[in-house]
Amino acid sequence: MKTALIILGLLALLGVTVGWGIWGWQQTAGTAMGFHGWLAMILGILFTIVVGCGLMGLMFCSSWYGYDERAADLSDRNKNG
C-alpha cells in the first residue's frame, strides 16, 4: 500500500510537471530567440553532454579497476561481523 501511494504521488508530480511544461511552451510560442539565447542553449547542451560522458567514463573506469568490488567486499565484511 505504501509503495502504491509513493508511485501514485510520483505520477501526479510527473503529470503536473508535464502540464506546466506544455503551458510554458504554449506561452512562449511566438517569441523569437536571439543570438545569445541560441549560444547559451548550445553551450548548455554541450556542457551537459560532456559532464554526462565524463561521469559515465569515471563509472566504467571504477568498474575496470575494481574499485566497486572492493567497496562491496568491505560492506559484506561489515555485515558478517
What does the domain layout of the chain look like in residue ranges?
1-31, 34-81
pLDDT of residue 78: 59
| pTM for this prediction | 0.55
∠7-8-9 over CA atoms, to 5°?
Answer: 90
Q: What is the pLDDT along the chain (81 residues), one digit of tens a residue?
A: 899 999 999 999 999 999 999 999 999 888 899 999 999 999 999 999 999 999 999 999 988 887 777 555 555 565 665
Grid cell 566497486 is found at: 68
State whether residue 14 is helix, strand or coil. Answer: helix
Among 41, 64, 43, 61, CA closest to 53? 61
pLDDT of residue 65: 82
